[in-house]
Amino acid sequence: MGRFSGKTAVITGSGRRKGLGEAIARHLASQGAAVVISDIGKPADPATPAEHIGATDEMEAIAADIRESGGQASTRVCDVRDLDQMRALARHARDVHGSLDIWVNNAGIGYIMKPLLDVTAEDWRAVINVNLTGCFFGIKAAAEVMVEQGKGGRIINIASQAAKSGFPHAQAYTSSKHGLVGLVRSAAIELGPHQITVNNVCPNHVTTGLGAWQNEYFSKVVGAESVEAYLKAMADRIPLKRPGKPEDTAKAVAFLCSDEAEYITAESMNVSGGEEPH
């Protein structure tokens, strides 16, 4: 028995190995939640290249690992840019596992990084459509089922330090994450009477599969001698002297999903080792 026994959690963008979504799913499952591993499954357009998405076979492998460890897990392919698919994902959780109690909007694009003057309209739309509109669709789809169930729920967006501070070469990304702050503040007001809390978790840099790509990219942008030198400089400016780990974010999500956090909503919680004070 765990603190989430009898509850079901959907985690979007959780079908990629070494990703934040996988870490969140594994952590919630280890504490008793039935989890739905969801990702886009295959490239759909130039904005969703194979190297940056969770493929169907990876989704199934992650779910199988959780089941082999004694947990409950299913999979569902979903493009977060499509409201109908998000609604189907919410119904899948309810119909397969008996309820929908936790929804984590984790899917995001963090690999379209360019100098401002090089950003195209297509680049901008690609990031906003996944990172902001996708989260709105997730909140809406989850809330529809949770309100119908009548027993409350937890909705969490994985935002970023970029929800609080600006970064070069990340105009669309930073804008999308800042937008999540306003989104949860408004959604929390409307969903509060239904005992549904809505919050953001804002990690600083985490070296996931995507994070490794970002290390390579930004070490060149800042002119670091090497990726190792870039990471050392990063650690030196963080009060706790290390970048974030996937489990740091997963633990924060679990706290916000727990009974201990029942009176916390509309918040954007930093998980940054003290790097982000805002």
Residues serving a catalytic function are 173
Residue 100 token pair: 């929908």
Sequence letter at residue 189: I
The first and second tokens of residue 137, run together, are 């669709």
CA distance 46 to 123: 10
* Bridge partners for 234 per DSSP: none
C-beta of residue 203 within 8 angstroms of C-beta of residue 244:
yes
What is the Cα–Cα distance from 225 to 179, expressed in whole angstroms? 34
Residue 188 in tokens: 């929390």
Task: Tell me how far apart the alpha carbons of residues 156 and 261 are, in angstroms, rounded to a whole number.
Answer: 12
Query: What tokens appear for 25 in the block?
Result: 């799913």
The token pair that represents 270 in the structure block? 């930093």
CB 139 within 8 A of CB 155: yes
Say how far apart CA 159 and CA 249 lie, in whole Å: 10
The phi and psi torsions of 78 (rounded to 5 degrees) equal -155, 135
- Is residue 268 within 8 A of residue 184, CB to CB? The reply is yes
Q: What is the DSSP letter of 52?
A: G
- Six token digits for residue 64: 């199988």
Determine contact, residues 14/25, Cβ cutoff 8 Å.
yes
